[in-house]
Amino acid sequence: SRYDSSLGLLTKRFVELIQATPSKDLDLNTAAESLGVQKRRIYDITNVLEGIGLIEKTSKNNIHWKYVG
């Protein structure tokens, strides 16, 4: 359905994926594959999360979850 592919739901699933990772580091290729979406959609999510300070890019295809709360 349309909701299943919405950016809001994808962001929620992306954050859950990071939080389930003990190191809080995530490979974006793995994330795209796990969530069943194109990497472009992952970039849409990471750009916003990076902009508000929740994640940081550690390399071209890797991010780290910064938020503790």
For 26-40, the pLDDT digits (tens) are 999 999 999 999 999
Share of the chain above pLDDT 70, in %: 91
pLDDT of 9 > 80? The answer is yes
Please give the Cα distance from 68 to 3 (Å, whole number): 28
Give me 33's structure tokens: 């594959």
Residue environment code for 2-26, b if the CB has 16+ CB neighbours within 10 A, otherwise e: eeeeeeeebbebbbeebeeeeeeeb
- pLDDT value at position 10? 95
25's CB contacts (< 8 A; 6+ apart) are 58, 62, 63, 64, 65
For 38-56, the pLDDT digits (tens) are 999 999 999 999 999 999 9
- pLDDT value at position 3? 63
- One CATH from 3.20.20.70, 1.20.1560.10, 1.10.10.10, 3.90.650.10 for 3-65: 1.10.10.10
- pTM: predicted TM-score of the whole model, two decimal places: 0.88
Please give the Cα distance from 5 to 36 (Å, whole number): 10
